[in-house]
Amino acid sequence: MLRTRIIPVLLLKGESLVKTIKFKNFTYVGDPCNSLRIFNELEVDELMVLDISASKEKKSPNFSLIKDMCSECFMPLSYGGGIRTIEHAKKLFDLGIEKIVLNTYAIENHLFISQLSSYFGSQAIIVSIDIRKRRFAKKDVFSNTFKSYLNLDPIDWAKQAEELGAGELLLTSVDNEGTWQGMDFDLIKNISQNISIPLIAHGGAGNLDHIKKAIHEGGASAVGLGSMVTFQKKGMGVLIHMPKLENFN
């Protein structure tokens, strides 16, 4: 049996790491390079860094910071945020990024997924989908950059992303993110049943049972962790660590 993949998902705002609750109320977590150094020592298998301010501020990826992060990081590192051209992607791979994560620009320009995928191979392309429940209505794909719903059915968009050439999906539940209260298991299940590429479930994990449930019942192939690797426990102080996974597989 394959090992369960646990991926710390770190959020970059400017040049600081932060952690959010439902994409709001951010808390400072630390210096990106210093934090990656700590994760390195914790022998994490893979990591993901998402720049949550790049697209909003219409900025390109902060290549010099990414270069420094790559030099601190000995495990595979995925990066997302502000990627809008083939050149951006090329530069990121040259710096040592293993996989790139697309969100805003993939929504604006669907064909960008295909372009990148045919250029670099689908295994290097993760499409990130943020889902939020509309008031009195069903769940919708949400754009954090534009702070708006896209009137897109989550399953349709996930299927489409796969067809366009995504090699993996990052599925984030905005309503659950940072809450510790469990993940949106129905959503995870619905999506995983409709796609054949690996799914990284993210948002809401607060204990090992949540992670197990996302994998075994939800059908996710990996779980992204934010709060659980950032805080000592719910409501308590920032303290980078990795949950023990021994009794896990």
Residue 236 in the binding site for other proteins (CB under 8 A): yes
Residue 232 in the binding site for other proteins (CB under 8 A): yes
Helix (H) or strand (E) holding 168: strand 168-173
How far apart are alpha carbons 93 and 91 in whole angstroms? 6
Q: Which residues are catalytic?
A: 130
Candidates 29, 83, 106, 183; binder of other proteins (CB under 8 A) is 29
| Alpha helix (H) residue ranges in the chain | 32-41, 63-72, 86-95, 104-108, 111-120, 154-164, 185-194, 208-216, 227-230
Site for other proteins in 120-149 (CB under 8 A): none
The one segment of 4-12, 29-37, 78-86, 172-180 that binds other proteins by CB under 8 A: 29-37
Residue 238 in the binding site for other proteins (CB under 8 A): yes
Distance of closest approach, residue 172 Cβ to other proteins, in angstroms: 23
Angle of the 86-95 helix axis to the 111-120 helix axis, nearest 10: 40
Strands 222-225 and 199-202: parallel
Residue in this structure with the two tokens 């659980």, named with its chain if needed = 228
Q: Pattern 55-94, binding to other proteins, x per CB under 8 A?
A: -------------x--------------------------
Residues forming contacts to other proteins in the complex (CB under 8 A) are 14-17, 27-34, 37-38, 40-42, 68, 232-233, 236-241
